[in-house]
Amino acid sequence: QVQLVESGGGLVQAGDSLRLSCVASGRTFSKYVMGWFRQAPGKEREFVAANRYSGSSIYEIDSMEGRFTTSRDNAKNTVYLQINSLKPEDAAVYYCAAGIRGQPIAAVRQGGMDFWGKGTLVTVSS
């Protein structure tokens, strides 16, 4: 019932910064836990970062590393992933995902989300 569309990927140089976007369908976006994951060729999908919205605040509930931060604009049904100081090993397909059933943080980190986007490719040149 939730469609997610990522954008913002592309070819960047190591050391650059990049912001990915994910637009979600639905009328209750503010209730969703929104997560970002990535998968490099031949490797397993891994958790990157996630946030949630409560009251008037956005909470970064987890991040694999400080270079990765999330934000969201509930009025636009959009969540963002900011990646700073990109490294070659950051190259991957980046996916956004929505958790709509109150998944605990541990489940979110393991990829236990309800809906997934198709991904956006990030390529990093050194």
**pLDDT tens, residue by residue, 91-118:** 999 999 999 998 888 999 999 999 999 9
Q: Which amino acid is at 92?
A: A
Query: What average pLDDT does the segment 40-65 reach?
Result: 89
Q: Look at residue 54 in the predicted model and tell me its pLDDT.
A: 81
Token pair for 100: 């709509």
- Of how many residues is the chain composed? 126
Which residues 6+ apart lie within 8 Å of 4 measured at CB? 22, 23, 24, 25, 96, 97, 98, 115, 116, 117, 118
Q: Which amino acid is at 12?
A: V
